[in-house]
C-alpha cells in the first residue's frame, strides 16, 4: 500500500467539480478529469467525424479512430489483440445480455432440452443473475467459493446437472462484489477449461469485471487461463464516456455466432421479399455483434480518456496501491468508532475468513459496506444515513445495491424476510418505511474510493460519522495503526469543539488533523497546570476580599454597637485595593508580563 500524494497536487485543477464535496460512490461511477473533457472537446472541434458506415472521408476518419481505440482499450486492459477481441456495448449489463442471448439461441438450435445450464455465484450483481431466466430452470447459485472449487474438482455434483450432461453451460462470477468489494478467485476459468469432466467440457466462463477493473489491472496475459467472456463498464474506470465492453477470447467466439438477432451494420447480405435470408459479417468477431451505428463519438472520447488516465496516474497498479491505502484507513476508522457504552457504531460486512481484511488488493477492493447501530444495538435506517450525509455534501450509496445474494448472506436475510418486506411495500432502490423488517435491515450503506480520492475524503467522512451517530461519546479513537489499538489523543476541555487525533509516523500525513465532533466530551483527566492553580487562588482571594467588604458595609449600618465600625469602610477599601495590586504584580512577574 502506498499513498500517492501527487493526486492531492492535481485534484483541485483536474477535478474542480469535487471542491467542497466528499464523493464516496466510485463503485457506481468514478469522476472524469477536466483534461479529458478538454482533450475530447479539442478532438471534436478540430476534426470532422462522420458515420463509420459511410464511405466519405469523415466516415473513414471515424472508422480509423474506432479501430485504433479498440486496440488501445484492449492493450490498456492487458489483453493481446491477437488472442482477444473487444465488442463495444452500452455498459456491462448489455454485454452480459449479449452473451446470454447467444447461449439461449444456441440451445434452441442444438440442445435436446432447448435450454442451457447457468451457474452463478451468490456475490453476483443482479445483471449477472438475470440470464438464469433463459434456462427453463436449469440454473444453480453457488453459495460459497468452496462450493465452486469442489464442483470444479469433481467433489460435488449439482442438482439438475448430470456428470455426463453435454448441454452448453456458463459459469458466471464477479471479479469483485459490488456490495462488499471482496475479490473472488480468478483461477476458476483455467480450472474449468482444464477439467476432463464431461459436464465441464461445454461450459464457458463469464467474468463480470465491472467492479474489479475500476482500481486494479486486469490480466489477460495467458489466454488459456483467461475467461471466455469478460464484461466491464468504462465509465467506472474513467468517469466518461458512458460505454461498456465485452472482451471475447477468440477461441471461444464461435458461441456468439449463434445469436439470431442482427442489426444494421452486422450483415453482409439480407433479403426480405419472397424469401428471408441473410449472411452475418464474419471478418472479425465484433463486426457481427455491434448492432447499428456505433457510438463513435463516445469511442473517440474513450481514446482521450485512456491517454489522460495514464498521464495522471501512470498505471492501474499505482491506483490499486493508492486506493488500498485509503480503504484500509477508512476501515480502521469505522471499526474503532464506538458509543460510550463500548458498542460499535458500524457493523461492517466483509469476509469473516480473512484475518487481516483490507490489506491485500488481491482479495479486497476499495469498497466498504456497513450499517449503523445505535447504542442499544438497533439499526439506523440506511436511507437515513445517506440523506444525512447528502446534507453535508458527502455522497455514499445506500440500499440493496442490486446484490440480492450479498444481502441475503451477509445480513442473514432469509427468503421469508424478502417476501415479508415485499408484502410490506418494500421495493428496491426506493426509500420507504420498510428498510428494517423484523429488526433486520434490507440494505446497507456503501462507501467506495477511486483513483482521485484523497486523505481528506476519508477523514471528512469519519468526522461526519462521529458527529452524527455516536451517542454520548467519551474518548473515541478513529485512526489506528492496528485495529482496536488506541493512539495518543488530545481532547477538548469538556465541551463542544475540535478533537485533535495524532496519527502514527508511518502514515503519510504527519501533522495532526482536526475533527469537530460536535458532541459533549467527558471531563479531562490530566492534572491542573501551574498557571491554572494560581488562577484559582486569585479568584478565591478576590471573592473573599469582596465578601468582607460587603459584610462590613452591612454591619456599619446596623444599630448594634458591637458591630458598628468593626472595620472602617475607608480602611477596608484601601486594604482591598492594595491586595489586588499585589496579586496583579505577582502574576505579572510569574508569567513574564503576559
Residues catalogued as catalytic: 402
Taking the C-alpha atoms of residue 86 and residue 249, their distance in angstroms, rounded to an integer, is 9
Q: Strand 229-233 to strand 244-249: parallel, antiparallel, or no bridges (unpaired)?
A: antiparallel
Looking up cell 417476501 gives: 419
Taking the C-alpha atoms of residue 228 and residue 248, their distance in angstroms, rounded to an integer, is 6
Question: Residue 127's closest CA among 157, 89, 164, 160?
Answer: 89
DSSP helix/strand/coil, 371: strand
- In sequence order, the 6+-apart residues with CB closer than 8 A to the CB of 290 are 87, 88, 265, 266
- Inter-residue contact 298 to 242 (CB < 8 Å): yes
Q: Which three cell numbers stand for residue 87?
A: 465488442
Taking each helix axis from N to C end, the angle separating 530-555 and 569-590, rounded to the nearest 10 degrees, works out to 170
- In sequence order, the 6+-apart residues with CB closer than 8 A to the CB of 299 are 65, 66, 69, 70, 88, 241, 243
**Maximal C-alpha separation, the chain:** 137
Residue 486, φ and ψ in degrees, nearest 5? -80, 150
- Please say whether the dihedral angle defined by the alpha carbons of residues 227, 128, 177 and 367, taken in this order, is positive or negative: positive
Residue 520, φ and ψ in degrees, nearest 5? -70, 135
DSSP helix/strand/coil, 383: helix
Taking the C-alpha atoms of residue 246 and residue 230, their distance in angstroms, rounded to an integer, is 6
Residue 285, φ and ψ in degrees, nearest 5? -65, -45
Amino acid at each position: 500500500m502506498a499513498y500517492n500524494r501527487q493526486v492531492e497536487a492535481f485534484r483541485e485543477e483536474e477535478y474542480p467539480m469535487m471542491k467542497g464535496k466528499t464523493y464516496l460512490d466510485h463503485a457506481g461511477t468514478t469522476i472524469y478529469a477536466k483534461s479529458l473533457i478538454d482533450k475530447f472537446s479539442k478532438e471534436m472541434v478540430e476534426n470532422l467525424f462522420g458515420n463509420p458506415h459511410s464511405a466519405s472521408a469523415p466516415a473513414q476518419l471515424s472508422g480509423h479512430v474506432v479501430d485504433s481505440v479498440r486496440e488501445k482499450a484492449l492493450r490498456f486492459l492487458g489483453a493481446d489483440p491477437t488472442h482477444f477481441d473487444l465488442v463495444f456495448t452500452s455498459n456491462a449489463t448489455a454485454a452480459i445480455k449479449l452473451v446470454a442471448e447467444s447461449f439461449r439461441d444456441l440451445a434452441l438450435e442444438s440442445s435436446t432440452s432447448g435450454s442451457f445450464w447457468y451457474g452463478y455465484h451468490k456475490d453476483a450483481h443482479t445483471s449477472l443473475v438475470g440470464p438464469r431466466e433463459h434456462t427453463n430452470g436449469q440454473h444453480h447459485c453457488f453459495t460459497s467459493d468452496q462450493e465452486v472449487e469442489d464442483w470444479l474438482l469433481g467433489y460435488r455434483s449439482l442438482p439438475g446437472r448430470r456428470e455426463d450432461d453435454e448441454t452448453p453451460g456458463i459459469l458466471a462470477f464477479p471479479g469483485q462484489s459490488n456490495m462488499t468489494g471482496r475479490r473472488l478467485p480468478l483461477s476458476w476459468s483455467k480450472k474449468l477449461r482444464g477439467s476432463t469432466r464431461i459436464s465441464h467440457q461445454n461450459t464457458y466462463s463469464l467474468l463480470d469485471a465491472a467492479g474489479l477493473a475500476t482500481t486494479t489491472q486486469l490480466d489477460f496475459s495467458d489466454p488459456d487461463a483467461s475467461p471466455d467472456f469478460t464484461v466491464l463498464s468504462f465509465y467506472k474506470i474513467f468517469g466518461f464516456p458512458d460505454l461498456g465492453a465485452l472482451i471475447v477470447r477468440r477461441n471461444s467466439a464461435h458461441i456468439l455466432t449463434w445469436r439470431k438477432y442482427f442489426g444494421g451494420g452486422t450483415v453482409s447480405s439480407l433479403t426480405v421479399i419472397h424469401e428471408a435470408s441473410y449472411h452475418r459479417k464474419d471478418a472479425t468477431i465484433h463486426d457481427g455483434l455491434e448492432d447499428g451505428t456505433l457510438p463513435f463519438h463516445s469511442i473517440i472520447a474513450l481514446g482521450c480518456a485512456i491517454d489522460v488516465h495514464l498521464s495522471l496516474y501512470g498505471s492501474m497498479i499505482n491506483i490499486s496501491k493508492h486506493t488500498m491505502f485509503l480503504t484500509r484507513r477508512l476501515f480502521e476508522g469505522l471499526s474503532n468508532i464506538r458509543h460510550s457504552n463500548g458498542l460499535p457504531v458500524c457493523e461492517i460486512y466483509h469476509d469473516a475468513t480473512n484475518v487481516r481484511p483490507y490489506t491485500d488488493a488481491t482479495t479486497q477492493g476499495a469498497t466498504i459496506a456497513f450499517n449503523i447501530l445505535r447504542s442499544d444495538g438497533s439499526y439506523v435506517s440506511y436511507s437515513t444515513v445517506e440523506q444525512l450525509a447528502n446534507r453535508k455534501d458527502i455522497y455514499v450509496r445506500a440500499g440493496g445495491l442490486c446484490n440480492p445474494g450479498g444481502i441475503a448472506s451477509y445480513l442473514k436475510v432469509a427468503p421469508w424476510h424478502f417476501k415479508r418486506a415485499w408484502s410490506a411495500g418494500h421495493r428496491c432502490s426506493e426509500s420507504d418505511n420498510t428498510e428494517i423488517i423484523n429488526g433486520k435491515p434490507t440494505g446497507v450503506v456503501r462507501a467506495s474510493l477511486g483513483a482521485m480520492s484523497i486523505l481528506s475524503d476519508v477523514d471528512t467522512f469519519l468526522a461526519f460519522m462521529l458527529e452524527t451517530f455516536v451517542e454520548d461519546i467519551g474518548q473515541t479513537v478513529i485512526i489506528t495503526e492496528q485495529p482496536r489499538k488506541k493512539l495518543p489523543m488530545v481532547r477538548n476541555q469538556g465541551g463542544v469543539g475540535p478533537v485533535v487525533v495524532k496519527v502514527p509516523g508511518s502514515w503519510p500525513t504527519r501533522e495532526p488533523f482536526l475533527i469537530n465532533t460536535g458532541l459533549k466530551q467527558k471531563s479531562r483527566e490530566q492534572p491542573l497546570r501551574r498557571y491554572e492553580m494560581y488562577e484559582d487562588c486569585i479568584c478565591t482571594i478576590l471573592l473573599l476580599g469582596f465578601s468582607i467588604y460587603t459584610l462590613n458595609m452591612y454591619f456599619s449600618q446596623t444599630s448594634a454597637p458591637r458591630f458598628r465600625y468593626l472595620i472602617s469602610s475607608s480602611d477596608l477599601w484601601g486594604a482591598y485595593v492594595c491586595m489586588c495590586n499585589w496579586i496583579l504584580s505577582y502574576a505579572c512577574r510569574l508569567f513574564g508580563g503576559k
